[in-house]
Amino acid sequence: MALKTAYNGSQPLSRSDTHQPWLKLFVDDGFPVFEESSFPPPDLLDVLVDLYFHNISCHYPLLHEPTLKSSIAAGEHLRHGSFGATVLLVCAIASRFTRDPRVLLDDSSHPHSAGWKWFNLVEAVRRLSFSPAKLHNLQVYALMAIFLQGSTAPQSTWPAIGAGIRAALDVGAHRRKMYASTPTVEDELWRRAFWVLVVMEWTIGYALGRPSSIHDEDFDLALPTECDDEYWLTPEGEPLFEQPQGKPSKVTAFVYMIRLGQILSFAMRTVYSSNKSKAQLGNSDQQWEQRLVAELDSGLNKWTDSLPSHRKPALRFLVMSLRDDTLRWDPEQEDVVFLTQAASLKAFYYFCQTAVHRAVLSSHRESALSLPSTIICTNAARSSIQGMLFLSGMVLMTNAFAAKRSDRVVNVEKDVALARKAVEMMHSLQYESHASGSLAFVNLPFPFGRVR
């Protein structure tokens, strides 16, 4: 003790002295408990939660619908700050899919203000936590990024994604050994949260021209389980995780999105890396980029060939035999979720294909691969434009037909006008792209008369 006193100059602190009251604020989950008035009215809350799972979950399966709804019914969002923040962000994102004026800012009637009052509540009270991240913390970061993607400042998603990935790494969510051998609801949600953050970083990182903070060799966790939310648990609440035989999972599309994102991530680290890093890898010769682009293009082709088809069995052979349908796009698909997922995967494929081949175009080097890459990029751009126009027009028309059947005429004429504009734009591309012209001439009746 004398030596300690001589060394420290005073008596060592007792254990009770190390618990400082000014640090207590930072030892929770990072969020205070939200008042009930912070949330939408119960009727609107239910609608927004349904809208979130209908429009977002098929692309980013971040949350488990039965668990979220049961937790809200039990009032968990009023007792736990991080879960309350999760619910508020779900409402913020879903607000963009409804015309209910209650989702707008109180002092604004502009539709672009939808959801911001709930996002602002979360952002205003978010604080640094000294405790290890919890599941809801990762979900909050991912939800913030999803919301900001649709804002006028999409680049602001980058810090949110980065913070979420750092929080995941801090608790080991990137390692397989963190997860039990038998699947559980919490383990699967951790896994999904991590993958959603990583996929978003890959895609947004490329769009913003920023390097990834994490790479394939840094993590070894399994891919999300291809099992829909309703099959996770038995009626008694025990883990099940068994997708019915012959019923395709709605999570499969996200798994394929991850695999496609891995190709994009590798392209970012190689063909888009700095000259210095290329030299360090021993890949500074002039033909290296072209050879690598060819390998990446081969990987993209293998990805398309591996895509499953959710068509009816009688048509499956026809789909597999058509080269133009290798992405399994099927306008006659009756399931809206699979139709939307197919369109999103196709758009993401063209996004990645353009990213791979654009590297050769930007290098300003003449080679035998430059012309093919130019053609591929141009065709990808044309296909992306026509695909998104067609999908958007179909969504607007579906909404217009539903509104007409229910005698709900609010904004219907505006949606019909936008759908007409989409058809006109596809008409203008009919000479450059046969598929675009074919889509434009689909003879579908508009709710208030045909196109022409």
pLDDT score at 433 = 45
Residue 380 resides in a domain: no
Residue at 372 is within a domain? no
Rounded distance between C-alpha atoms, residue 113 and residue 115, angstroms? 6
> Does residue 106 lie within any of the structural domains?
yes
Spatial distance between the Cα atoms of 331 and 333, rounded to a whole number of angstroms: 6
pLDDT at 92: 97
| CA gap 154, 148 in Å, rounded | 6
Helices 252-270 & 288-306 angle (0-180, nearest 10): 180
Residue 5 lies in a domain: no
Sequence-distant (6+) residues with CB within 8 A of 16 are none
**Looking at residue 379, what is its pLDDT?**
73
Its domain, for residue 214, covers 24-246
* Dist CA 225 CA 249 (whole Å): 9
pLDDT of residue 359: 76
The pTM for the full model equals 0.79
| Amino acid identity for residue 145 in this structure | A
Question: Does some domain include residue 341?
Answer: no
At 253 the pLDDT is: 93
Structure tokens that stand for 370 in this block: 């430059």
Tell me if 230 is assigned to some domain: yes
* The total number of structural domains that make up the chain: 1
Cα–Cα distance measured from residue 350 to residue 365, given in angstroms and rounded to the nearest whole number: 23
* Phi and psi angles of residue 239, each rounded to the nearest 5 degrees, phi first: -60, 135
Q: Classify burial at 436, counting beta carbons within 10 Å of its beta carbon; exposed 0-12, middle 13-18, buried 19 or more.
A: buried
> Is residue 404 in a domain?
no
Residue 183 lies in a domain: yes
What are the two backbone dihedrals, phi and then psi, of residue 221, each rounded to the nearest 5 degrees?
Answer: -70, 160
Using 50 as the pLDDT threshold, list the residues of the chain that sit under it: 1, 13, 15, 312-327, 363-364, 431-434, 446-452
